[in-house]
Structure 1
């Protein structure tokens, strides 16, 4: 059974990838619903958003909640409204304007993040292989420089056998935000000031995902999700429905301050502590997992962090600024540039479709200018 160290779920019933994968014959299974809105949530949220002024860009969600949680019903509404944000980062580190804008988009879409989650038993790797059919793909190349010169783009990279150079008329940049923030790719001429400012204004999240595999069927809880102490505080049963029961895959999940504390420990110590906590939760302290692993996306030079995040102080349209083409030559895609459902595979896919349309539109202008 595939084990996902990164993205695991296909979020939302309206995910743009669902019809593509269904047409290709991919099997999907219903996953854990992490947010089931209460009956009165939608109308109450609509009333709150209609009555609330757009907060200053410097305001955090934590400050917004403190300002508006004037009674128990208001506090309950805000706790439910911003639960998804709390599941990614501390509210004090989260932009109130961005969080409220996301809620407005979800209301318009009539689906909140976490209501409908799906699994792909074949694994996301098979999806990548399917989408890449017919394309010439090269891996193991670290891009170091992108230059614009007369007539097109020059990309300089390093492979296992030394330097490489590629030429193209146009280019889509879709590397993770952390790679851009770290300056791992140099641009000539330098990127416009607004683009550089957009890259630096956003942050990458500190998220820790640990994956444990046990022999046999060891998950005895009615709910597929459990909250515990000590860290990590969230666990879920990651074995998809219908999978053989000769093994159980369980995921431990930590975000924000909790993840940062755990990542300060040596990996072997952190993993051992988490495994012991999980075995105790399962009521099997003498039954350790067969395998225990995690991937440090923050330490990975090809990601330098997990998915993107908008902190207090960032402009409301920060993702649009990041997505804006650089002339008619360089275009931008990836979850950080997604106008909706950022931080998801679906959002990343939609951003790629948007960038492809921009390339074709600009190409017509380039052809016209050359004629």
Structure 2
């Protein structure tokens, strides 16, 4: 077990989360401290109440420091899909004679690829190999020690909006954070829930959060496509509140009761108990229809995102679902799968006690941060 701890911050669409963790035995993480705070979030790549972001982050770190009881000077911050873009780059190097490929060759290729990317108002987060090719166009994911006279590679380059990084850097400086490393949240999530063998072919990872949904195509060690849109489970809550004429908090409680696989009769209801003890009966079928309608809209937009990358929806691409947006609705995954016309598996981190879709992004960030910190 390593005694090195990392501090990771996740910028969610409705809450900010922070975890201090170290690597334990048997593939587990030892969580030293964790906290989360709700905030106004972001919409279409813009923070809703940007002026209150610093206050929310100070509150978050105050909670973490109270538990951890140590100074935090270095942090890893996940950049959400809505503030990111993916570019595809090809590059190659040639050798004077045929020889075994070395680790330094891969690093040189990666460096060359990153130098070719100059996008205004964007900063590079990662340069990841999708696949390597040798002299005879043989493709491989493990070229080290293989003899070749030239080596080429397809790279996925993930970039973040400079404005996102600048906004947070100003806040971290004010808070006394000395070192900040930014990570691609969708990339870390994908590498966490998909093992290397699965990533030898293209996979699709869908993350439905509170106010944002992302669709990532994954191959090798990188993303080949990334799209996102501002819609998620909080829209379902708002729909229930409006349609059933109840408060937003009551709608949250109602959503927890929803079972989409149920089909009731005229006398079947969901029951909400108010603070005063009054029971509010909501027709079961009506509430289910409200939830189903919004899930259909999310699924329709997901399919549009997929078609942006693949003209034909390739039937053998495995699909994995992460995030709490659909996963926490009873019967949500099966209904969502029906809407997009595909079988869906949950994307979960292979970590005991944390193997839930809603933990995929944070655990992916923690795993990547621990590797970077080794």
Give TM-score, length-normalised by structure 1.
0.28
Give TM-score, length-normalised by structure 2.
0.28
| Larger relative contact order (CA 8 Å, sep ≥ 6) | 1
